[in-house]
Chains A and B, each alone.
Chain A
């Protein structure tokens, strides 16, 4: 029996390490979306290992905050049967961010970046940034962050059955505020680079990263089917 995208994603989420089983590999050969998903998972996994190897441990409060945020936003919950699995493939990368584990992983990336940047004295090229940059250069599939910006924050003209069309004003608001936060991150990074022992600048930088993570969580949450429920 051929493996479906949904089954593959579930398998990928449950897979700690090691090679994928043969049916999954066979599915990868025929499904571009799942290949991209698998590549992103691999990159996240690799980055997590490298962060661990570097001995950079984000403070406990980061994880507590992340967990609380994801639970509050109902991004973390048990696996659910997807009644629209038949149309899943047609949603393409959009659907990737509706998977709780991937949404969580993406937010984890942002917060990991926050803690990394907060705790590394030299962060002109952070491990996270270099990892992402490396992956973008070498991977034939789109990177998670670029997909997020293109698909989640773009008002699509395509109508997706069963979904309320995204509110242009809301999307514009999220985009505008994302730019504001990105700008703050840039300014804070510059300040910390120039004044590495400036604790206040570091705190603001960390706060800006956290704000970005929360904003992305809000954007995903507002974009999900039944997001207002």
Chain B
């Protein structure tokens, strides 16, 4: 056997082996993309079990939905009727594992859009969308940036980070943390059991800010120009305060509670209302800079 024939045989064997390997590999994850023309303020609904969901805004009157499912065992069904676009993932065979059903989405929507997102795990990010939004997750973390609207978040242990959010926020979690960084929110109702809550922004005039947890830390940052009434109570934990409050002259008097630690007072004219409540966590009212 000469060197040439050996080389030919080795090459042929290699080609056959490569063929087997390719045949045994799952289908390559293809990115699928769909476009839906819409008019003003469409409503986009996304149902996914696991995987990343990114929502961005653009100036086109069109919703673009792109997704990737590495296993090829999940299919994405889309439905569009006028300004309603619905996207849902489902397994295309029995007994598909969570890993195999993992589907990542990149969704681009008009700036003025309504969103409804439901997912179990995987991160959700929304950038620069203006419109009402609802999010329902189990463990998925949620990051909202530069959004404006009425936002309702329900999660079990996912965290919420809200950067420069405007409008109204309702968030409920059991063990997730909630952070509001530089918000311009005029209504905040945030509740988490064991998670921490951070509000680092201004209390707007006429705004109502209710933050409640069971055992985590509630931290709010104020500036000396802020104007708000505060009612802070922790049954088993501490209330740490760096503000100088006047006695609250608005509404009914607040008798000192014989249980736990409480703080009532007014800063400047008390234009906003701030209620902070914890069972055993620490409440911190800290001066910003």
Binding site for B on A (CB under 8 A): 159-170, 173-174, 176-177, 180-181, 184, 187-188, 191, 195, 198, 200-201, 204, 208, 211, 215, 218, 222, 226, 228-229
Partner of B175 from A167, A168, A169, A180 at Cβ < 8 Å: A180
Give the docked Cα–Cα distance between A177 and B194 (Å).
9
User: Known: A180-B194, A228-B118. Contact between A167 and B174, CB under 8 A?
Assistant: no
A163 near B95: Cβ-Cβ < 8 Å: yes
Q: Which residues of B from 16 to 48 have beta carbons under 8 Å from A?
A: 47-48
CB-CB under 8 A for A218 and B233, given A164-B91, A164-B96, A229-B90: no
Q: Could you tell me the distance in whole angstroms from the C-beta of A90 to the nearest C-beta in chain B?
A: 15
In chain B, positions 73-128 with a C-beta closer than 8 Å to chain A are 88-91, 94-98, 101, 118, 120-121
- CA separation between A222 and B156, bound complex, in Å? 12
Which of A161, A163, A167, A218 contacts B156, CB < 8 Å?
A: A218
Say if the beta carbon of B286 comes within 8 Å of chain A.
no
Once the chains bind, are A164 and B49 in contact (CB under 8 Å)?
Answer: yes
User: Once bound together, how far apart are the Cα atoms of A208 and B279, in whole Å?
Assistant: 11
CA distance in complex: A160, B91 (Å): 13
CB <8 Å contact, B89 and A169: no
- Which A residues are CB-close (under 8 A) to B139? 169-170, 173
- Cα–Cα, bound, A174→B233 (Å): 29
| B240-289 interface (Cβ within 8 A of A) | 257, 259-260, 277, 279-280
Most buried by B among A164, A168, A195: A164
Judge whether A204 and B121 touch: CB under 8 Å: no
- Interface pairs (5), CB distance under 8 Å: A167-B98, A176-B157, A177-B157, A198-B235, A208-B214
A213, chain B: closest CB distance, angstroms: 12
Taking each of B98, B118, B233, which has the highest tally of chain A beta carbons within 10 Å of its own beta carbon? B98
Q: Which residue of A lies closest to B214 (CB)?
A: A184
Chain A residue at minimal CB-CB distance from B89: A228
Further contacts, 5 of them, CB under 8 A, given A164-B90, A188-B279, A228-B118: A170-B138, A198-B259, A201-B235, A204-B279, A215-B174
| Distance, CA A177 to CA B172, complexed state (A) | 13
B169-215 interface with A by 8 A CB criterion: 174-175, 193-194, 214-215
Report if B50 contacts A (CB, 8 A). yes
Residues of B within 8 A of A198 (CB): 235, 259
User: Which residues of B lie under 8 Å from residue A159 when comparing CB positions?
Assistant: 94-95
- On whether the beta carbons of A200 and B260 are closer than 8 Å, the reply is yes
Chain A proximity of B85: nearest CB distance (Å): 16
In the bound assembly, the distance between CA atoms of A128 and B194 in angstroms comes to 27
The 5 A-B residue pairs with the shortest CB-CB distance in the complex, in nearest-first order: A167-B98, A159-B95, A177-B174, A173-B139, A164-B91
Interface size for chain B: under 10, 10 to 19, 20 to 34, or 35 or more residues? 35 or more
Residue contact A204 to B214, C-beta cutoff 8 Å: yes
B120's nearest neighbour on chain A, judged by CB, is A170
In angstroms, Cα B174 to Cα A181, docked, is: 8
**Contact between chains at B156 and A229 (CB < 8 Å):** no
Q: Is the CB of A177 within 8 A of B156?
A: yes
Contact A165 B47 (CB under 8 A): no
B243, chain A: closest CB distance, angstroms: 22
Q: Which residues of B contact A170 (CB under 8 A)?
A: 50, 98, 120-121, 138-139
Q: How far is the CA of A177 from the CA of B193 in the complex (A)?
A: 10
Q: Which residues of B contact A222 (CB under 8 A)?
A: 120, 138
Contact A180 B235 (CB under 8 A): no
B190 to chain A, nearest CB (A): 14
- Indicate which residue in B89, B97, B138, B175 contacts A165 across the interface (CB closer than 8 Å): B97
B88 closest partner in A (C-beta): A229
CA distance A188 to B279 in the complex (A): 9
Residues of B within 8 A of A200 (CB): 233, 235, 257, 259-260, 277, 279
In the complex, A167→B277 CA distance in Å?
Answer: 34
CA gap between A69 and B36 in the complex, in Å: 32
The listed residue (A165, A168, A169, A208) touching B95 by CB distance below 8 A is: A165
**B residues 136-161 touching A (CB-CB < 8 Å):** 138-139, 156-157
Q: Which residues of A contact B215 (CB under 8 A)?
A: 184
B residues less than 8 Å from A228 (CB atoms): 47-49, 88-90, 118, 120
